Every structure is written in structure tokens, then in C-alpha cells.
């Protein structure tokens, strides 16, 4: 039985006869409250919406790091980004998913080709060491306690920053 759900033709069954069709999609009906295609996770009546997408907080902090452009602060910004994403309500699992995808699918190949960071080609071992350091900084950010500002929680990652570069990071840490 063919069924048309086009609003301009009404609900029809069979060969175009107009009959009452309880499956017809009505405006403001119960079917309007769900995702018909199943594309939105957690959609539907009585279901909680998914947690905020961490990508926004991660991307903003990445752009902030690029604007700041201070060598030796990569892991601080990893911690800061994941901390901000958690404080924004993103799930730790979602944050790990995005950051791991970025590390392995973007940064690793670029680093091996010399198109990442300082522009020097890195060995496999060097890239894995960089990824592990970034993941540890990400975990530090994810574990930030409620009520502690992200800058304060991630500040220890700036302890080894050379004194000549510290003035550029005053926005994030005022006491050395």
C-alpha cells in the first residue's frame, strides 16, 4: 500500500483514494516529538538530550593557543581545553573521543611529515611520546574539581616555562 505524507496532498492510501489514515503525520502530533530518521541521539519523548558537544570548547581553546603562540604551552592548553569542556557539561568520554581522534588521525600523520608544531619531521617514537603527554594533560583537565578555575588547575603545567616567556602567559597565571 503506497502512502503519501506530503502536506499539500493530504494523507492517501492505495490508488489515491482519500481515506482516514492513522499513520499519517499530523502537525503537532506525537510523531513530531521524535527524530524520524534516528539521527539525533537521545531524541524522543521523555529522553534526555545528549550532553553538550565538547568540540566547541576544544576548538575555541585551540584557537586561543594559536593566537597566544607561546612555545612550550601545548600541554597547558590541552588541560585548559578539556577542563573547559567538562565545566561546560560535556562528558569525559566525549572529550576523550574528540581529543584521541585529533591526536591519532590528525597530529600523528602531520608530525611524521613535518607539518605539525615546529615543522620538523618526528619519528614514530617522538609522536607517540607527544601524544601520551597530551593525553596526560587532557586527563588532568578532565579531572578538574568543581569550584576550581581551569587556569588554576592547569597552572602547574607552566612550571617549567622559561622566564622570558612567562610575561606572555600572565593572562593565565599571575604568580610564578
Query: What is the residue-level pLDDT of the chain in tens, covering all 176 positions?
Result: 454 444 444 554 455 555 555 555 455 555 455 444 445 444 445 555 566 889 899 999 999 999 999 999 999 999 999 999 999 999 999 999 999 999 999 999 999 999 987 889 999 999 999 999 999 999 999 999 999 999 999 999 999 999 999 999 999 998 88
Whole-structure pTM value: 0.70
Residue 140 and residue 120 share a domain: yes
Q: Where are the beta strands (DSSP E) in the chain?
A: 3-4, 12-13, 17-18
Residue 142 and residue 92 share a domain: yes
Residue 102 and residue 44 share a domain: no
Residue 7 and residue 72 share a domain: no
Domains: count for the chain: 2
Domain limits for position 99: 55-169
Residue 22 and residue 63 share a domain: no
Nearest to 65 by CA among 51, 52, 82: 82
Residue 163 and residue 100 share a domain: yes
Residue 119 and residue 36 share a domain: no
**Which residue in this structure is represented by grid cell 603562540?**
69
Residue 4 and residue 69 share a domain: no
Residue 176 lies in a domain: no
Per-residue cell: 29:
502530533
Q: Which residues contact 20 (CB under 8 A, 6 or more apart)?
A: 11
Residue 64 and residue 42 share a domain: no
Amino acid at each position: 500500500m503506497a502512502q503519501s505524507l506530503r502536506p499539500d496532498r493530504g494523507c492517501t492510501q492505495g490508488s489515491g483514494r482519500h481515506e482516514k489514515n492513522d499513520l499519517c503525520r499530523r502537525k503537532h502530533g506525537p510523531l513530531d516529538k521524535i527524530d524520524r530518521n534516528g539521527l539525533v541521539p537521545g531524541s524522543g519523548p521523555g529522553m534526555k538530550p545528549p550532553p553538550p558537544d565538547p568540540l566547541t570548547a576544544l576548538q575555541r581553546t585551540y584557537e586561543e593557543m594559536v593566537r597566544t603562540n607561546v612555545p612550550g604551552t601545548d600541554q597547558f592548553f590541552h588541560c585548559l581545553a578539556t577542563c573547559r569542556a567538562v565545566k561546560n557539561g560535556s562528558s569525559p568520554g566525549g572529550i576523550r573521543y574528540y581529543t584521541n581522534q585529533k591526536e591519532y588521525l590528525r597530529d600523528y600523520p602531520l608530525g611524521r611529515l613535518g607539518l605539525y608544531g615546529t615543522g620538523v619531521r618526528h619519528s614514530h617514537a617522538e609522536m607517540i611520546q607527544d601524544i601520551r603527554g597530551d593525553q596526560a594533560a587532557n586527563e588532568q583537565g578532565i579531572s578538574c574539581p568543581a569550584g576550581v578555575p581551569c587556569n588554576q588547575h592547569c597552572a602547574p603545567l607552566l612550571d617549567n616555562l622559561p622566564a622570558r616567556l612567562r610575561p606572555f602567559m600572565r593572562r593565565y597565571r599571575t604568580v610564578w
